[in-house]
Structure 1
Amino acid sequence: MTHPVWPTTKTMLLAVLCFFFCLPVFAQKPGQPGNTIKGKIADTAEHINLHYSIVALINLADSTLYQSVRTNRGGNFELTSIPPGRYTLMVSYPKMADHLQEITITDTSHIDLQTIHMVNKADLLQEVIVRAGLPIRMRGDTLEYTADSFAVKPGANVEELFKRLPGFQVEKNGKIIAQGQVVEKLLVDGDEFFSDDPALAARYLQADAVDKVQLYDDKSEKSKFTGIDDGTRTKTVNLKLKKNRKNGYFGKLSAGSDGQNYYHHEAMGALFDGTRKMSVFGLSSKTGKQDLSYNEMSKYVTQDYEIIDDGTGGIMIRSNSDWEGENYRGNGLPSVQSGGAHYSEKWNYDKQKLVGNYRVKQINATGWQNNNYLSVLPDGTSFSNASESQEKTYSFMQKASSSFTFKLDTFTVIKVSANGNFGNTSESRASFSGSTNQKGIQVNNSEHTSQNDFSNKRFGSNIQYQRKFRKEGRTLSLAVQQEYNNKSGDAYNYSANNYFDPTSGVYRNADTLNQVQKSINSQETYAAKMSYTEQLGKSWRLAVEYGWKNNVSGNTFNTLNNVNDKFTERVDTLSNDYTFNATTHITGGSLVYIMKKATATLGGNVFFTGFTQTNNDLHDQHTRRFTNFAPQATFNFKPKQGLTLNFSYKGETVQPTVEQLQPLRRSSNRLHSQIGNPDLQPGFRHSGHLYFYKANWVQGKSLNANVNFNYTANSVASRIFTDAQNRTTSQYINLNSIPYIYSNINYSWQYKKYNLKPAINFSASKNGYYTIQNDQKIKNESANLNATFSLTHDWKNVMNTSYKGTISNIFGWSDIPGRANTQSISHNHEVDATIYLPWHMEVTSDCSFNFQPKNASFNSRINNIQWNAFIQKKFLKNDQALVKFSVNDLLNNNNGYRRYVYGSNVSESNRLVIKRYWLLTMTWNFSKSIK
């Protein structure tokens, strides 16, 4: 075996350029072929050979992992090609005490350790060498960090600890990245903490309470139960607490204000009492610093169980207005209040387990924005569209989930889960817009006001029965579940439009719309599924399943005209009552081949589906039947620790939404109309993913690459007609999509001697769409190229600095004759520094430089510098309290300007954003252990 040598920076740059054409090839450097270590691993008590034990060789000079192997079925191992030096040999096996032994390798070493006897942890013998405190180690497929080996300041939270761990990154928005992938789940002693939000747990848990940080790719619950790999992986972190912190309470109180407009207050408390965990948190802020997106609130809670797939792509319910539920889009001055609670407990030696979570969030925001948009028609006609608007938005959302698991016996488990959410949203908007053609002549203008009020309710429940049999690999599982979703509301729209002659600009005519659109969207499903697995020989496993699902979706949409200041006149041509019913029988199976270092799965489902579409107004009904196929394939290859290659493919049917099928014209302004199409056919989506990862975690080097592919045959597109006054009418149709591809490569390393951690990242993507514009098929495409370099330096107890620079280039093009390509170029530079002063004081400064030079698509340059800074002093025992004075946007330069290009279209926008303000904040972190 040869010893891997990490490439130089110059070599890596050349390799990156080759990445988009071929897979990376890693240089290898030969070691000393005559130097070997061999031996056998056995259990002292049982006198049996321990196959698949981990044998690792650690260089004593810098504590780096040189080589790692697993023993064969006879318990034998051999390490070859070892350079001269001093090493520690570490042997690990589940439930056994680790064996550590120092070994010196010369130029001609042939070491036979004979049999190494492992001892159960409960029966440690004196002759076994056991040590604790290795900073990083492998336990099976889990990478484990000893938290105390990575020093952080007193009072630091887990987020600060993550920043110190090799292979971890924490972005400014709190997103945690490990081994190049986003951490989606964070557990505490193997259990949930604050539901599925890793950022919350990392922000509120104290670093000094953590003993071990365990990182692994968690499989789906279905895979863990059946032993059949479905290719699903969730990057997961488990925090093992220190023994003296497993029982006690801890929390945080913080209040900050400028005495007038801006404030940020938060509180959190948690109680850990053995297997019982309780926690609550609350936040009130008007700084825009928190993640205010409603995505995590409106996301339906489904982690407790797998939604039974019926191959319809999920008949979706959408809003009937041009405004969707997430009302805060970074525009304006937001006021947010949010909170949550978590409770979990286990009984009867973990045979029963209860978990409950609750979240609530409220946002109020006011703002303004303006937009400029250039669109081009196939005949060369173009329109410049300008708009200004003011808006006031409100959202309230709460969600809850719970599950109860109990084991009937060693082989049988029953789990009952329920989740739901409830919320309402409101938005009022007033806007003015106008369009001019390529001759500079105004063709229309419009004054539009709207008031949208919607509420949403959703509830789902699931009962699951799982049983393992005495024969290994034989399992049976049953699931019954239901889902209910209802969204209803009113959309008030008033618009006054003026139209002008496109050749002279002379006023022609006007129209007015004053209507309310009342809608009720509902969806109700019931499903059941049975799955059975069987082991076929040593390496093969088979899974088969059968299921049934009924999905009923309804959309009642009524448009009422204003008559004598009352909305009473129903417009039949703009109203409709529509029902969509789908009943599906699900059959499927998969075959798995399990090898020592790889797993391959091939299979899929067949869906026998009957659709019934009913226009209740016309008493018109259409029935269609489809047989949908959903093939799947996965391949996971892990030849050794720190080297992974994964591939997955999935095919699935994509059904049109109820909104797209409903034969109805929708319009909140007569300048824009949307028409449904009941004759839409299902599409079929192909998607693939390739992931490569190579790392030496101890040395802090990692290389990861991703390629994603997506293509939909017979996708839903649009047929658009635009007249000379820039009035558009669009109808849904079927067209094949344009393939989407995204590739990314990231390499990070470190210079331990200088405490430097550089990283480079390159990404490229290409996507597009077809449309029928004025009876001509048009292709619009865009490509996005990004290159990023970052560098961090840690001067222990003195200063921490970082730099991140990104260059972005977006290209757009179309097949419109004579239309020039579009382009948007930008480069961004971020510089952060923290200086540690005497008397427990810190000064932090971060500065962002954003440059958008002029080009063929934009005739002006936009440069912006935003500078934030704070100074803080810590006091009390273990720095539990602090006072901080911070200033946001010192130069008062923050702006909401954005540029976009796509195909032949170009747009730019500006919006109201938070500018300079200051805060004085006091924070107290408290904790106490209870024996």
Structure 2
Amino acid sequence: MLGALPGFAQTYPVSGRVVDITDQSPLIGANVLLVRLPDSAKTGTAVDPTGSFSIPAAPGRYVLTTSFLGYVTLRRPVEVTNGPVALGSLTLATSQVKLKGVEVVGQAAAAVQKGDTTQFDSRAFKTNPDANAQDLITKMPGVVVQDGKVQAQGEQVQRITVDGKEFFGSDPDAVLKNLPAEAIDKIQVFDRRSDQSQFTGFNDGNTEKTINIVTKPNFRNGQFGRIVAGYGPSSTNSLADGKYQVSGNLNSFKGTRRFSVVAQSNNVNQQNFGTDDLLGVIGTSAQGGGGARGGQGGARGGQGGNRGGGQGQQGGSNAGNFLVNQASGISTTHAVGLNFSDTWGKKVDVQASYFFNLSDNNSNSTTNRLYNVRDSAFYSPYSRQSPLLRTLGYNEISEGSARNINNRFNLRLDYKIDSTNSILWQPRFTMQRNSSDSNLDGNTFLSGFSDVPDSVQSANLSRYNSAQDGITFTNQLLYRHRFAKRGRTFSLGLNTTYNDRDADNYLYSDNFDYTSRPDIRLSQTNQYSRLDQVGWTWNGSANYTEPISLKSQLQLNYTLNYSPNDSDKKTYNLLNGEQQVLDEQLSNVFTSRYITNSGGLTYRYQFEKLEWAVGTSVQYAQLHNEQEFPQTVTTDRPFWSVLPNASVQYKFSRNQNLRLNYQTRTQNPSINQLQAVVNNSNQLQIRTGNPDLAQEYSHNLFLRYSSSQPETSRSFFALIGGSYTDNSIANSTTVVQRPTAIDGTGVIVPAGGTIIRPVNLNNQYSLRSFANYTLPLKVIKSNLNLNASASFSQTPGFVNGVLNYNRSPNFGLGAVLSSNISPELDFTLSSNSTQTYARNTVQSNSNSQYFRQNTTLRLNWILLKGVTLQSEVNHVALSGLTAGYNQNFVLWNASLGKKLFAKQQAEIRLYAFDLLAQNNSIQRNITDAYTEDVRTNILQRYFMVMFTYNLRNFSGSGAAPTDAPATETGSLAPRRHSRRPSARRWRRARQRVWRLRAFHFFG
């Protein structure tokens, strides 16, 4: 058994880094075992995602053993005297030994907990030969891919790396769709610490959920890729109207040098870029109800928050138009991406990527909204009902088209000057052009029968055109110095961000009011507006860490942040269609200056199983706002804040740990929220800013528990946490009862229209929990993944001057059954059910609840040699929505293919999308002021003939055979041979296998 090092002796860290001998890349997950001489007491660890390790050891002589599947085991003597032992880089060479005639078959452990990292073995999850990384990763416990977003352990994945390095910047979609599953050895899920924290070893609490993909050694030298081309005729038999897709990727790996190219063109809603492509898309001048939905539903709403203010916003302001989300209309996309990474010498690591995207989107949507307000004053003489309390609602039909052109460049350069100094430089540049055109038909209504319209109050017909240009340049520079005394470090950081956005907008609208007499046109608008926004962020920081003892460390930090922003919006009334007359009441020139100074002290303690840290910062912030036009108004707001932080981590064992993290932060309002200029793009829903806004102050607390049992392939993960915000930036919504003019603007809001203004409110909080349990079902050779979730949010907001709290409890249950039978038969059956409630303190009659269930069966079956069948059936059930929006439909996609050529590297297949022609897109959004349902046009049935060609060219041992069983010796296990091995070779093989088993168990 493993023995612990003597507890009474003084211990010193034995540290180093395990890397590949050829390319110096970290061998993530390698095992390091320290054996004390002569009593053979052992202690061990697994290296972290950077390849580093640290083992406490008392003075004495040891043997250090380093092992990694597919590599030759390294042993070296180590002597600990009276100080730390730094071993530097330990290089492992790829093993050339093959166990001929030997096959050791066993069940690979599905999940292993290594400190903060949950590691999954790809051998425990069988996929078909053509599967990509996304097909593999969705089989793993707690990992979900939905609407183009990856979630792991209940949190959204913000970064996916390949062998510890970025792959196409921070775009998870590019990695998952372009990396074949057969190249993957391990999947690691962990909270990635900041570069500053990784350098100092001091956990500063700044983490992001990260997935690291560890490739198989034999896939690190060679080329692989795929080319896909397909076409399907339209119902009109016109070639121009047919559906098509062309895509390809080529990856060339040679040691540390990796170069990849991806490209695609299609009109079937397949897009291949992340949210970072969308500079300037979410902003002012949203057409129609989108302005309200983006500000309320996107930022604060219960279900709307998942949309990021997306679908509701039309025209140039709809981020959802450009994401991987079928619910945002239909898009034609052309994209190309380049990615490069290499290690130059022993000092420089470089990673660079470039993306180009061109997306044309067409979006048609209908919206039904019910406000949380009932008032007897809402009365129309043309109503068929008596003037009782009635519900106010809003209906909208919108049609829009948009074109987005985007260029994005990323670079990461890590230069190790010497053993004690390094510089990290990360510039990022994005340039975007967006043009849009949208039409809107909206009306407000009263109803005595819930969501059934009774009498129309007002109407708006409008057309909106927009052309926007945006540039963003960010630059992160970090200098790090490590002193001779272990644990003593100093670093300086400088982060800058530059944003420049220009927009030209045209609006033509007619507004009608029906409360006094039918068909009266209240106002007509024909205007042009020009928006120029320029913003900077300068952030400088200094950090110093000092070891107090071998178990404790102190960190001092100072941060200076300066954010100047300028916004100039000029609105002109167009007379006779051409003459421009400045409308001073709808124009505004505004500047905002936000500066913070903060200094803090944090103490960290770490010993064996327990690690904890506690600290605090004191921050002084000043917000200076100055309106230069049409009137001169100056506002100064000082803020003093104390920002405590704390974290605790306890490791019950190597495979079981508990973590608690508490953080506080402040957030200044954006210039769009501060600028007091009226946005009248939809006069039924007017938005304006508030220069008197204060900064937000938030508390965040999370508790996480992880456990795995490698010997049984079982794992469990649970999370519970929440946030509380003081001075949260919420909305004040005023529903006007009769035609109302906004003071000083000349804008008239019809009866039933709304005026929305941001305000600071307290008692905004959210709670959420998530649990996931995975176990193998050996009877059917499959893995069962069970999950449960619950959340509760409270969102404050003023509705007609009365404080309303919208409370949204949410409960969910899910199960995923994924096959592990063989690569020839691969299926995944999943079902997720969610029950959501909307509760309001002002008007309980507007409370509601709705249910959503999504059940999916994915099947990939090799019927016989060279013949493949793929099918995906998705059943969606929605209930509790407004009339006409409840749905129960099935989306069924299927294909039948035939492999071609001697190595079956090509395939031709017939593909059918939405065989039953039932595809639908419905979204519910809940805010403090209203509940709404949105239906958007979506891609429906088409057929396509597709040709696929897979490129595989690897040096050395070649690609691992897809039919190789899961073995204890990993990629070293060969296929079965008929020649009987000699007795001597057999004994050596058994000894080698048992040694590897011992390293896995004890390491």
The alignment's TM-score, normalised by the length of structure 1, stands at 0.81
Q: CA separation in 1, counterparts of 2:60 and 2:687?
A: 69
- 1:526 and 2:538 matched: yes
Structure 1 position 441, deviation (Å): 2.2
Q: Which moved more, 1:213-222 or 1:822-831?
A: 213-222
Which residue, out of 806, 809, 812, partners 2:838?
812
- 1:279 and 2:260 matched: yes
Which residue, out of 720, 723, 728, partners 1:707?
720
Distance 1:785 1:511, change over 3 A: same
- 1:542 and 2:539 matched: no
- 1:621 and 2:634 matched: yes
Structure 1: unaligned runs, 5 residues or longer: 2-40, 56-69, 78-89, 100-118, 301-312
Structure 1 position 736, deviation (Å): 1.0
Which residue, out of 680, 684, 697, partners 2:693?
680
Distance 1:429 1:342, change over 3 A: same
Q: CA separation in 1, counterparts of 2:773 and 2:576?
A: 68
Q: CA separation in 1, counterparts of 2:579 and 2:543?
A: 53
Which residue, out of 263, 269, 287, partners 2:244?
263
Aligned to 1:450: 464
Answer yes or no: is the 8 Å Cα contact 2:908–2:946 preserved in 1: yes
Distance 1:646 1:75, change over 3 A: farther
Answer yes or no: is the 8 Å Cα contact 2:444–2:753 preserved in 1: no
Which residue, out of 175, 194, 204, partners 1:201?
175
Structure 1 position 74, deviation (Å): 8.7
Q: Which moved more, 1:247-256 or 1:613-622?
A: 613-622
Compare relative contact order (CA 8 Å, sep 6+) and give the higher one, 1 or 2.
2
Which residue, out of 590, 594, 598, partners 2:610?
598
* RMSD of aligned residue pairs (Cα, Å): 3.7
Answer yes or no: is the 8 Å Cα contact 1:167–1:700 preserved in 2: no
Answer yes or no: is the 8 Å Cα contact 1:466–1:475 preserved in 2: yes
Which residue, out of 349, 361, 364, partners 2:360?
364
- 1:780-825 per-residue CA deviation (whole Å, 9 max, x = no partner) reads 2222222222323344355333322222222112123562521212
Aligned to 1:863: 888
Aligned to 1:342: 339
Distance 1:670 1:803, change over 3 A: same
| 1:134-213 → structure 2 map (5 Å cutoff) | 135-136=108-109, 152-162=127-137, 167=141, 169=143, 171=145, 184-210=158-184
Structure 1 position 358, deviation (Å): 0.9
Answer yes or no: is the 8 Å Cα contact 1:133–1:149 preserved in 2: no
Count of matched residue pairs? 821
Aligned to 1:11: none
Structure 1 position 171, deviation (Å): 3.4
Which residue, out of 872, 881, 885, partners 1:846?
872
- 1:339-392 per-residue CA deviation (whole Å, 9 max, x = no partner) reads 2111122222x2122221111212101232111222242534422322212111
Q: CA separation in 2, counterparts of 1:248 and 1:593?
A: 46
Distance 1:284 1:294, change over 3 A: farther
Structure 1 position 298, deviation (Å): 4.2
SS at match of 2:328: coil
Q: CA separation in 1, counterparts of 2:758 and 2:143?
A: 43
| 1:241-256 → structure 2 map (5 Å cutoff) | 241-256=215-230
Which residue, out of 734, 737, 755, partners 2:763?
737
SS at match of 1:864: strand
Q: Which moved more, 1:143-152 or 1:533-542?
A: 143-152
**Letter in structure 2 aligned against 1:352:** V
Aligned to 1:927: 952
Between the two proteins, what is the percent identity of the paired residues?
A: 22
Answer yes or no: is the 8 Å Cα contact 1:464–1:478 preserved in 2: yes
Structure 1 position 156, deviation (Å): 4.2
Q: CA separation in 2, counterparts of 1:173 and 1:508?
A: 44
Aligned to 1:419: 428
Answer yes or no: is the 8 Å Cα contact 1:580–1:611 preserved in 2: yes
Distance 1:852 1:50, change over 3 A: same
Q: CA separation in 2, counterparts of 1:717 and 1:183?
A: 27
Distance 1:470 1:388, change over 3 A: same
- 1:460-515 per-residue CA deviation (whole Å, 9 max, x = no partner) reads 2233211111101000111233221111102211110111126xx54555211111
Aligned to 1:377: 373
**Letter in structure 2 aligned against 1:897:** I
Distance 1:187 1:133, change over 3 A: farther
Q: CA separation in 2, counterparts of 1:723 and 1:360?
A: 46
| 1:201-600 → structure 2 map (5 Å cutoff) | 201-210=175-184, 217-259=191-233, 260=239, 261-290=242-271, 294=275, 298=279, 324=317, 326=319, 328=321, 330-348=327-345, 350-379=346-375, 380-438=389-447, 440-501=454-515, 506-507=518-519, 510-566=522-578, 568-600=580-612
Aligned to 2:919: 894
Structure 2: unaligned runs, 5 residues or longer: 2-32, 47-54, 76-89, 234-238, 282-298, 300-308, 376-388, 449-453, 738-750, 957-1003
Structure 1 position 626, deviation (Å): 2.4
Aligned to 1:62: none
The alignment's TM-score, normalised by the length of structure 2, stands at 0.75
Q: CA separation in 2, counterparts of 1:907 and 1:402?
A: 42
Q: Which moved more, 1:725-734 or 1:357-366?
A: 725-734
**Letter in structure 2 aligned against 1:326:** A
Distance 1:696 1:177, change over 3 A: farther
Structure 1 position 629, deviation (Å): 2.6
Q: CA separation in 2, counterparts of 1:419 and 1:873?
A: 44
SS at match of 2:679: strand
Distance 1:746 1:858, change over 3 A: farther
Structure 1 position 551, deviation (Å): 1.6
Structure 1 position 262, deviation (Å): 1.0
Structure 1 position 419, deviation (Å): 0.9
SS at match of 2:525: strand
Answer yes or no: is the 8 Å Cα contact 1:629–1:652 preserved in 2: no
Answer yes or no: is the 8 Å Cα contact 1:651–1:687 preserved in 2: yes
- 1:784 and 2:810 matched: yes
Distance 1:96 1:242, change over 3 A: closer
Distance 1:322 1:264, change over 3 A: closer
Structure 1 position 532, deviation (Å): 0.8
Structure 1 position 189, deviation (Å): 3.8
Q: CA separation in 1, counterparts of 2:867 and 2:695?
A: 63
- 1:625-676 per-residue CA deviation (whole Å, 9 max, x = no partner) reads 3223322211222221221212111112222222222232332133232232
- 1:830-853 per-residue CA deviation (whole Å, 9 max, x = no partner) reads 223333211221112221222234
